[in-house]
Structure 1
Amino acid sequence: MDTDLVRAEYTPATTYLNTASSGLLPARAADAMRDAIVAMTEGRPIDSLFTDVEEARAAFARIAGVPVTRVATGASVALYTGLIAAALPEGAEVLVAEGEFSSTINPFHVRGDLKVRTVPLEGLAEAVRPGTALVAVSAAQSADGRIADLTDLRTATRAHGARLYIDASQAAGWFPLAEHAAAADYVASVAFKWLTCPRGAVFFIAPGDDRSFEALTPVFGGWVAGERPWDSCYGPVTELARSARRFDETPGLVAYAGARRSLALIEKLGPQDIRAHDLALADRFRAGLASLGHEPIPSPGSPIVSVPELGVRQQRLHEAGIELSNRAGNLRASFHLYNTPHDVDRLLDALSA
């Protein structure tokens, strides 16, 4: 990984170990967003901002290893969960993991006529059974970084005729998403965490087979869902986009101006190299915790490390200039491309004090 490029683009003012909450913006994204706001302030044309949306869509497709025609853009994972929930028949069984992030599962609950079954993450694949319509799971759990076995899940869902919905919000940017996204039925991901985009940019990967694609009704589709958006501004949309763009939400243009530049940087740095860097730091932290007598929640192969009972120290660490999260009493550290071994050691020193 090009560390000089990282240092030029990311300038944390703290020991920032909280990417699982929100990633740092690179300088190029912040500059693009400022330019967009100035253009809007001065009344200059902003047509180029729609180009930013398309470039961001294409970059995410490359990172996920899917055709760009399968990628929609929006602003909320919950919206796309709701889209999937709306397509399920009454009484359908949805299988989810205990403690799953709300945006990934809540729309299934609020429908009221679906059977939502909850099991431990480690037993998710074994719990798929005849009659299971959908499995919804985060590739990496928000609370503690545990990684779902997506290979086993895909095997199990195919064996029982179920569909697989992956929330990649805590994975895209460091996780080998391209190994799994193409085979999933649906994938949704925010981009403001490990992809270091602004808040307001979300991507959705629609089904790759025609039957499943057509079964997903774009219930919130507006003018941007048309095959020719600028000809779809008035009255009902007469021709939906033939690609996943039919599932687009009207974009927050300033967010996508930044997202285009952030995703280009992630591509240049390389998700594989980012993964190696992140996991090395997380393993360094786990080893240091062991020497201090602390045992984190097991999350091998994840850059998210949660330590039981240490969440109470989050405020004191914040006051010392070290940013982490308190999740359900656990101290959650998350290591990303702009972090260094020195950051890990500073946190360990603070915990030992």
Structure 2
Amino acid sequence: MDGYFPGTQSGPMDTTETFDSLVRAEFSPRTSYLNTASNGLLPARAVTALHEAALMRAEGRPLLPLHENVETCRAAYARLAGVPADRVAAGASVAAHTGLLALSLPPGAEVLTAEDDFTSVLNPFHVRGDLKVRTVPLERLAESVRPGTALVAVSAVQSADGRLADLPALREAARAHGARTYVDFSQAAGWLPVDAAQYDFTATVAYKFLLGPHGAAFLTVPEDFGGLTPVLAGWVAGEEPWDSCYGPVAELAHSARRFDLTHALFTYAGLRSSLELLEELGISAVHDHAVRLADRFRAGLATLGHEPLPAPGSATVSVPGLGVRQPELSRAGIEVADRAGNLRASFHLYNTETDVDRLLTALEA
């Protein structure tokens, strides 16, 4: 297909053809799949790894290699996020990670959040019942940090509409007022270059743009752990996990692994392969490809008289009022999402110009 990938690439790939051939070898969707913001597609190598992991269980083979996958994934995500591996905890969900932060705050602490952000970033602070949760529009988040704000929590990319938070401005405002920062990279990591080292805490799930199976999430913490207490710690959180199976854990891990939750071993088997693929391709190359397709969709919408919600630079495009068309599009083999009444299309490395044009043609009908 002409124009399948951008003409210039950055990252490990030497040529467009290499990027092209690698992606084609890994993905063969039967639909125009434009819904990665809900669930990413699994690359072929991840499917193979999942099958092998299931066979290991079925055949009674030692599972040590599956446990080793967790550490490989931790290191790979650390490289992607720009932090040392000892600052990365392996968990199961953003909500669980948010819960740890919520429990760490003193009664009456102020948490600043963005309107209509994803529930997993918000709800644990609300259910505490004794925190002051203040909510403002996303574009006013940085200017709303004030003396006494303890924590600012926000998604780097908004789930409902793809808007990007102004994270540099937020970081500077938080530092000026002594507030800590918590950023959810679930809609960013895997297509948008991220730098978790710039924030106190970050979290992400692995089943969206990181292309992993469900059941894995990562939390990054400061070197001093930021006052978090590992209240969910089990045996995997011990400095010597296999010596921590009975009775209270005598010695917690000296790294962020003290915040690990029991590992979903099949998930990490598949995720290891997915993260390897992303590293081979390079996040910058994936970013250029995804944003180019999103911009093509935005331009096509304008010719049809539709105006998407403003989200410049995002791989996700949301169009007000068209969410009701999601079922008919799905029947036509075009997978998008209906989010808050918006038709949400999200673009990733396996999408093509043909996918974009097919969606535009369907919307024109």
Give the counterpart letter for 2:289 in structure 1. H
2:80 aligned to which of 36, 53, 63: 63
Any idea what SS the aligned residue of 1:135 has?
strand
2:168 aligned to which of 151, 167, 171: 151
Following TM superposition, the consecutive aligned residue runs of length 4 or more in structure 1 with deviations greater than 3 angstroms are none
* Cα distance, 1:167 vs structure 2: 0.3
Match of 1:236 in 2: 248
* Cα distance, 1:42 vs structure 2: 1.3
1:142 aligns with 2:159: yes
What do the CA deviations read for 1:46-97 (whole angstroms, capped 9, x no partner)? 1100111000000000000100000010111100000000000000000000
1:189 aligns with 2:224: no
Aligned residue-pair number: 348
Structure 1's 161 and 221: CA in aligned 2 closer, same or farther, altered over 3 A? same
Distance 2:216 2:271 in 1: 7
Distance 1:121 1:304 in 2: 16
Any idea what SS the aligned residue of 1:117 has?
strand
Any idea what SS the aligned residue of 2:349 has?
coil
1:23 aligns with 2:40: yes
Give the counterpart letter for 1:258 in structure 2. G
Any idea what SS the aligned residue of 1:95 has?
strand
* Cα distance, 1:196 vs structure 2: 0.5
Any residues of structure 2 matched to 1:44-123 within 5 Å, and which? 44-123=61-140
Pairwise CA RMSD of aligned residues? Answer: 0.7
Give the counterpart letter for 1:284 in structure 2. R
Structure 1's 275 and 214: CA in aligned 2 closer, same or farther, altered over 3 A? closer
Match of 1:32 in 2: 49
Q: Percent identity?
A: 67
Any residues of structure 2 matched to 1:277-296 within 5 Å, and which? 277-296=289-308
Distance 1:296 1:136 in 2: 26
Match of 1:215 in 2: 227
Give the counterpart letter for 1:56 in structure 2. C
Any idea what SS the aligned residue of 2:90 has?
strand
Distance 1:10 1:51 in 2: 26
Distance 1:25 1:204 in 2: 22
Match of 1:201 in 2: 216
Unaligned runs of 5+ in 1: none
Provide the TM-score with structure 1 as the length reference: 0.98
Distance 2:226 2:133 in 1: 24
* Cα distance, 1:175 vs structure 2: 1.1
Distance 1:350 1:215 in 2: 52
2:264 aligned to which of 237, 252, 272: 252
Any idea what SS the aligned residue of 1:153 has?
helix
Distance 2:252 2:227 in 1: 14
Distance 2:48 2:359 in 1: 31
Distance 1:46 1:3 in 2: 35
* Cα distance, 1:174 vs structure 2: 1.0
1:324 aligned to which of 336, 344, 360: 336
* Cα distance, 1:214 vs structure 2: 5.8
Unaligned runs of 5+ in 2: 1-15
What do the CA deviations read for 1:122-177 (whole angstroms, capped 9, x no partner)? 00000000000000000000000000011000000000000000000000011120
Provide the TM-score with structure 2 as the length reference: 0.95
Give the counterpart letter for 1:206 in structure 2. V
1:349 aligns with 2:350: no
Distance 1:224 1:330 in 2: 41
